[in-house]
Structure 1
Amino acid sequence: MKRHFYLWHRWLGIGLCLLMVLWFFSGLVMLYVGYPKLTQREHLAQLPPLSAEGCCVPLSQALAASGEAQPPSAIRLSTVAGTPRYLLRYGPRSIAVDARSGERLEAAGEVDALAAARQFGGEQAMHYRGLVNEDAWSHSRALDGERPLHRVELENGTLLYISSRSGEVVRDASATERAWNWVGAWLHWLYPLRGGVLDRWWSDLVIYLALAATLMTLLGIIVGTLRWRLVRPYRSGSRSPYRGLARWHHIGGLLFGLLALTWIFSGLMSMNPWRLFDNATPLDISAYQGGELRAEAFPLPAGQALQVFQQHGLQPSELHWRLVGGRGYLLGIDAQGTSALLAMDGSAPLQRLPDAELLRAAQAIRPHDSPQVEQLTAYDFYYYARSEHSMLGHLERPLPILRVRFNDPAQTWLHLDPRSGAVLSQLDESRRGSRWLFSLLHSWDWLPLLQQRPLWDLWMWLASLGGLLICLSGSVLGWRRLRGRTRRPLPSAITGGTTP
């Protein structure tokens, strides 16, 4: 049995150690430079204040112009390419309606894309780089409803991606982000396999490569432990039978092998292999909204709402239509992210909704349940913020919020934002399991570390360098093994020679 452990570890290592070197190195890059995305802060910063003058056609007219029979899942008013537009979300698709004329934008062309880029980049020179369905910096499934995408390059090297459906800038990728991502996220997530003939198998390839690497690392720990003598040293006086680079590989594996195993295994879990973290019966939270986003629920015109906001010192750059427990609100957000809620009676804007109203809306999800409620005024293990460049750093994590725990079969938790009335996240048992098996083990986003930078950085660097020691030494040893086999002289029976 031991011999099989050695052989499996050796040949899996020969096949996978170089890949793991790339994973560890690119992971170090990702500590500081993430995959390009447009954050909420970046999105709001390029928006001018909405003007109440000449704004806007009634919401009912905008919904009718969409041509859709069903109500949208989200409605907002924003400035796109210098003009106010209603942006309606229908599943993954977005539809834009001119807020002044009430006409639907059928497709955004090159002129619209350049106008949107000019709004984003100011007076910089810019170059139109054509239309693309998907490229190295736009693999995210969140962009599927916006494709194909226009690309415009700004003078400072930033590449903007503009939706051909709404005309909005939906992604920005700076020159620095793109340069580092070639050896960062693009490499770490094996994106060289995306977009070509292997694209349809990309997910399976990542899963089974990570599974094989997990097995290889586990076998390495077993083999390394078996070969280390605690009681009776080897004849050389060493507790390891190896010399030179093999000794470094052995001792490095004993010191850092478990950390390497947790990283590879948690990377596997990030792919949600075989749908392990999919709940067969997720909690239906549609009742929280208390109705559909129809014009009848929002009698207050957008122009009048803007005037009320402005009278109370808020200059909204965007309006969002919200239903909470069947009551309509307009959420105004300015360029700095400051927000307020306006009820349909036009009374003074609210800084936050009363807890009782949020709980009433949440109770409608399971009327016969008695959920547990707590107010979070500080981050904890399941609700916390990450740096903007990190994978989930673009998600808003305001405080304080309400956490509502239901007694449904999946033991679902909802995080509710009193400032906007939004459901910030929905965590059931499987997603909380993913928090342990992926987020904690892979990113070490444990608050005592995250809140004590650079302690977190030192820990990640130490562990990553240990992993690199194991994998680099393993790659060299594997290369030597292969080179030795290719140089081994052929048996005399084959060569026709004689044995000495």
Structure 2
Amino acid sequence: MGAAAKAKRLVYLVHRWTGVFACVLIALWVVSGVVMLFIGYPKLLPQERLERLPPLSLAPSCLSVATALQHSTSPDEVLQIVLTSIDGKPVYRIKERGGSFKVVDALQGNVAGAVSSAFALRSAQAFLPASSGTLLGKTQDDRWTHSGALDPHRPLIKVQMDDAQAQLLYISSTTGEVVMAAPRSQRYWNYVGAWLHWVYMFRDGSKDAVWSWIVIVLSAIGSVSALAGALVGIWRWRFRGRYKSGSKTPYRECQMRWHHITGLLFGLVMVLWIFSGLMSMNPLGIFSARAQLDKAGYQKSAIGQVAQSIDTRQALAALQAADFETVEVEWLVLDGRPYLLSQARSGDTRVVQVVNGTYEVREGFSLKELEKTARALSPYAIQDTKLLHQFDAYYYQRGESSMYAGASRSLPVLKIQFSDPGQTIAYLDIRTGKLLLSLDRAQRTGRWLFNLFHSWDLHWMLRYAGLRDFALVLLSIGALALSLTGVVIGFRRLVLSTK
């Protein structure tokens, strides 16, 4: 037997014996993937959180941000200052280096202590005023709270609400605010959706290297099996002529025949889905950014050092005079100049800056301001800038069921291309001044090998969401038929091998 024949025989054997296991796994992935198309993993979207906040109409009585910062470890250690509401009351939420929080009462000035069970219940009921809740205790991590974004809030306090959706709320033990909401129907669907798809039954915590490698190995096996099957299917199909039976496939048995035909029809989609699932795990960090943008240089000053120059009372009074109903404000800094970002329940924003001693309320920043400041993001020159009024291949908005649903993707946005070796692209929000997204060449490659092949998420595809969903469901039905016929064949082979 020649080398080519031996290699071909090896491909047959690989598909035969990996397929016994892989087809079961792939069938589960296909079914759960269809569920995920419509039902996402539980999360609290930014818009949902804002809609629950009361207006900050407390200008005369609110303590200054300078008073709140007196409770911080050091101005240099302050990473974020937000005036928001927890348990229906205004507070300063100060985030320090390392991820720790301090919550300061905006009316009394006292620092909040440990979050008690009674406080957690009140916070949950302030989030859902027409409902009452039952305390279920604390959890460090459970099947719905694997997100790394929740790490600073652990352990989480669970409160079961009696509203129509039977929502399970998770309360931060560090700030007392609701950080996640999981309606009952979403939780149930997720057992056959994201929880099953990502084999979360093997995951222990938000950072679990063992689970990561389990998914990587399973995806690699599935990819090899699917690719081997695609090659076998092509080799066994008579593109010219027919077998003695008169058919173009050599298989006469029903399961084998339809496994071959569905493999030819849906094998490529199957290979791309499984391979892109493997790529989603960023194996060996191949899609990690090679260089980070200098966000500190973009700001030029630590927020804790300059925030005091914007007085809370005067800023809120200016917003009220501009007829803007504020529910949350954040102190930010751009090019060494502090400003206040105000948000309304609708998600609309305003910027407050002090200009020649006067508090001015603006809708955002000029292109000239952002382009000048953006030079500090990288030591490399800016190659190109463009104001986008439509989404592009890398900057786009996903639906509520997507894992990216919480990412802010407003328009218009300033796109900046740097001339660094990775050809980094940055997207700056002209309304808020924030850096919303950055990708270098490695990250953009990951976007194509994972997101496109796995989710079909080009912005023009997402624009026709109904047709995209319909096409994905049809392909999933075909892929399910392929995997289920493989399950039957594999089961019969196992039975025969044991006799």
Q: TM (normalized to structure 1)?
A: 0.94
Match in the other structure for 2:303:
293
In structure 2, distance between residues paired with 1:261 and 1:441: 10
Matched, 1:310 2:320: yes
Judge conservation of contact 1:285–1:365 (CA < 8 Å) in 2.
yes
Match in the other structure for 1:350:
362
Judge conservation of contact 1:309–1:315 (CA < 8 Å) in 2.
yes
Matched, 1:190 2:235: no
Match in the other structure for 1:178:
187
1:199 Cα offset (Å): 5.3
In structure 2, distance between residues paired with 1:166 and 1:94: 7
In structure 2, distance between residues paired with 1:133 and 1:114: 18
Q: 1:294 is paired with a residue of what secondary structure?
A: helix
Evaluate the alpha carbon distance shift between residue 68 and residue 194 of structure 1 in structure 2; reply closer, same or farther with a 3 A threshold: farther
In structure 1, distance between residues paired with 2:74 and 2:259: 62
Matched, 1:105 2:116: no
Matched, 1:237 2:263: no
Judge conservation of contact 1:105–1:165 (CA < 8 Å) in 2.
no
Matched, 1:4 2:14: no
Unaligned runs of 5+ in 2: 1-5
In structure 2, distance between residues paired with 1:55 and 1:391: 40
1:100 Cα offset (Å): 2.1
Match in the other structure for 1:150:
157
1:297 Cα offset (Å): 4.2
Matched, 1:218 2:214: no
Matching residue's letter, 1:33: I
Q: Indicate the percent of aligned positions where both proteins have the same amino acid.
A: 41
Evaluate the alpha carbon distance shift between residue 258 and residue 418 of structure 1 in structure 2; reply closer, same or farther with a 3 A threshold: same
1:426 to 435, 438, 444: 438
Evaluate the alpha carbon distance shift between residue 346 and residue 371 of structure 1 in structure 2; reply closer, same or farther with a 3 A threshold: farther
Q: 1:12 is paired with a residue of what secondary structure?
A: helix
In structure 2, distance between residues paired with 1:434 and 1:236: 46
Q: 1:123 is paired with a residue of what secondary structure?
A: coil
Q: Deviations over 1:450-495 (max 9, x none)?
A: 2123210121012111111111110111011111222x2xxxxxxx
Q: 1:482 is paired with a residue of what secondary structure?
A: helix
Q: 2:408 is paired with a residue of what secondary structure?
A: coil
Match in the other structure for 1:497:
none
Q: 1:131 is paired with a residue of what secondary structure?
A: strand
CA RMSD between the two structures: 1.7
Match in the other structure for 2:3:
none
Match in the other structure for 1:469:
481
Matching residue's letter, 2:414: L
Match in the other structure for 1:491:
none
Q: Deviations over 1:380-411 (max 9, x none)?
A: 11111111221101111111010011112221
Q: 2:309 is paired with a residue of what secondary structure?
A: coil
In structure 1, distance between residues paired with 2:382 and 2:32: 47
Matching residue's letter, 2:111: R
In structure 1, distance between residues paired with 2:413 and 2:306: 29
Q: TM (normalized to structure 2)?
A: 0.94
Q: Deviations over 1:86-127 (max 9, x none)?
A: 112234333322222322223212122111101110121211
Matched, 1:454 2:466: yes
Judge conservation of contact 1:312–1:348 (CA < 8 Å) in 2.
no
In structure 2, distance between residues paired with 1:328 and 1:69: 14
Matching residue's letter, 2:46: Q
2:147 to 125, 140, 144: 140
Evaluate the alpha carbon distance shift between residue 106 and residue 411 of structure 1 in structure 2; reply closer, same or farther with a 3 A threshold: farther
Matched, 1:408 2:420: yes
In structure 1, distance between residues paired with 2:217 and 2:68: 48
Matched, 1:379 2:385: no
In structure 2, distance between residues paired with 1:476 and 1:316: 60
Judge conservation of contact 2:382–2:416 (CA < 8 Å) in 1.
no
1:68 Cα offset (Å): 4.7
Q: Deviations over 1:198-237 (max 9, x none)?
A: 9551000000110110000010011111111112311101
